[in-house]
Structure 1
Amino acid sequence: MRSAVSTPSRPRRWRTVPVAVVLLLASLLAAGGFGVSWALAANDSSVQLAATRDRVLRAGRQAVINFNSIDHRRVRQDMSRAIEGTTGPLREVLEGSREQRVERVTKNKSVTEAEILASALTELNERQGKARMIASYKITKIEDGGKPTTSRWRVRAELSRTDGQWKLSRMTPSAG
Structure 2
Amino acid sequence: MLAALALVVCAAGAAGWGGWQRYEAAHDDAASFAQARDDALAAGEQAVQNMNTLDHKELEQGLDSWEQSTTGDLHRQLVDGRDDFARQIAEAKTVSTAKVLSGAVTELDERAGRAGVMVALRVTVTAPKGEPAVKESRLLGTLTRTSGGWKLSALGQAPVGSTGG
Compute the TM-score of the two structures, normalised by the length of structure 1.
0.80
CA RMSD in angstroms, aligned pairs only: 2.1
Q: Which runs of 5+ in 1 are unaligned?
A: 1-16
Question: Which residue in the other structure is 1:5 paired with?
Answer: none
Q: Name the % identity.
A: 33
CA distance in 2, matches of 1:165, 1:70: 23
After TM superposition, the structure 1 = structure 2 runs for residues 156-171 of structure 1, keeping only pairs within 5 Å, are 156-171=140-155
Q: 2:19 matched to 1:35? A: yes
Q: In the alignment, is the contact (CA less than 8 A) between 1:110 and 1:141 conserved in 2?
A: yes
Following TM superposition, by how much is the alpha carbon of 1:39 offset from its aligned partner in structure 2, in angstroms? 0.6
Name the count of aligned residue pairs. Answer: 160
CA distance in 1, matches of 2:132, 2:3: 71
Q: In the alignment, is the contact (CA less than 8 A) between 1:85 and 1:167 conserved in 2?
A: yes
Following TM superposition, by how much is the alpha carbon of 1:25 offset from its aligned partner in structure 2, in angstroms? 5.3
Q: 2:58 matched to 1:58? A: no
Following TM superposition, by how much is the alpha carbon of 1:28 offset from its aligned partner in structure 2, in angstroms? 4.0
CA distance in 2, matches of 1:81, 1:20: 65
Return the structure number with greater relative CO, CA threshold 8 A, min gap 6.
Answer: 2
Question: Which residue in the other structure is 1:107 paired with?
Answer: 91
Following TM superposition, by how much is the alpha carbon of 1:137 offset from its aligned partner in structure 2, in angstroms? 1.0
* Counterpart residue identity of residue 159, structure 1: L
Question: Which residue in the other structure is 1:4 paired with?
Answer: none
Deviation string, structure 1 residues 9-39 (Cα, Å, up to 9, x no partner) = xxxxxxxx88876765554444333222111
Q: In the alignment, is the contact (CA less than 8 A) between 1:120 and 1:135 conserved in 2?
A: yes
CA distance in 2, matches of 1:146, 1:155: 27
Bigger Rg, structure 1 or 2: 1
Residues 70, 23 of structure 1: alpha-carbon distance in 2 compared, 3 angstrom cutoff: farther
